[in-house]
Structure 1
């Protein structure tokens, strides 16, 4: 496998259009119907937790984290995480996740959830959320609702409706 000259940089306002095109390529038109998309409608992504991946000047990946409430507890929703299909399998998604979670932890955030595949996200500390404790705004396969504690014990006692929130 060839090593790519990859740069992970903070997302900038001028990245919005290229990121939207990336989302179209990576997720297609069905992305608007997903539960995670519905959660993000209620909250703007946290700018300091959003990053892009570039190979040279080509934007090939993006990650955003948005503020949510899990019952009464503040947290973050990871997503969307997108990698250009032509660049999948090269560690770009892992680099984006690592950078965003590192920054979230440094900024004092304690808990991150996402809807995704546990085998992929487990290496970043994600595991299935406790069954029945979190209610999403639309149906989600319980095996795909994952949580990562950025501080040990952050998920203890957390329960309730998951909703997007502003900053």
Structure 2
């Protein structure tokens, strides 16, 4: 072979999130988002509310946590929905499909559990790859400052988005 490059195939496992993952996820979020994450409107919606562990997943290489995605129940007006995020991937593992796979696991689990609608705040170009679309301005708002073009939705059940209007709030 003559090459002094070592190629290692790393196996990434996607597993349901457990309470034991929380400390590692917090450290990952801290590295990825910094202290400003606590001021974000989406963070404030999730504050004090546990994610739905049956819909939230982690990515691991052995014991190393390399990604996480939470799903938290919210209300839009009186309509139940889920808030996706934060979706966090260790920088060395970005652009390898880890985030998309985490989202697919969460969206598939939510669909199978009978949920109809998932919302998030994020970049349309990235999240549209898994089916998210922009919420029309004024249809759904958040209780704090947010760029309305970054409020996105994914309909898991036909017609679920039609019923949702008003402000997002804790369930």
State whether residues 81 and 116 of structure 2, in contact with CA within 8 Å, keep that contact through their aligned partners in structure 1. Answer: yes
Q: 2:40 aligns with which of 34, 51, 57?
A: 34
Contact 1:135 1:161 in 2 (8 A): yes
Per the alignment, residue 66 of structure 2 pairs with 60
Pair 1:112-2:127 in alignment: no
Give 1:12-27 correspondences, 5 Å limit: 12-27=18-33
3-state SS of paired residue (1:76): strand
Q: Any conservation in 1 of the 2:79–2:163 contact (CA below 8 Å)?
A: no
Stretch moving more, 59-68 or 149-158: 149-158
Residue 162 (structure 1) aligned with residue 168 (structure 2) = yes
Deviation (angstroms), 1:3? 5.3
Superposition deviation, residue 131 in structure 1:
1.2
Distance in 2 separating the partners of 1:157 and 1:95: 28
The C-alpha deviation readout for 1:16-40, integer Å capped at 9, x for no partner, is 1111110111111111011110110
Higher RCO, 1 or 2 (CA under 8 Å, sep at least 6)? 1
Name the count of aligned residue pairs: 165
1:132-166 CA-partner distances (Å, limit 9, x unpaired): 0112010111110000100122111421111011x
**Unaligned residue ranges in structure 1 (runs of 5+):** none
Distance 2:65 2:55 in 1: 17
Structure 2: gaps spanning 5 or more residues: 1-6
- For residues 153 and 89 of structure 1, do their structure 2 counterparts lie closer, same or farther at Cα, with a shift above 3 Å needed? same
Q: TM-score, normalized by length of structure 2?
A: 0.92
Q: Greater shift after overlay, 133-142 or 93-102? A: 133-142
**Structure number with bigger Rg:** 2
Q: Cα–Cα, structure 1 residues 138 and 10, in superposed 2: closer, same or farther, change >3 Å?
A: same
Q: Which runs of 4+ in 1 moved over 2 A?
A: 1-4
Hey, what's the Cα distance between the residues in 2 that align with 1:158 and 1:98?
A: 22
Matches within 5 A, 1:36-115: 36-41=42-47, 43-115=49-121
Partner Cα separation in structure 2 for residue 25 and residue 91 of structure 1: 19
Distance in 2 of aligned mates of 1:35 and 1:54 = 28
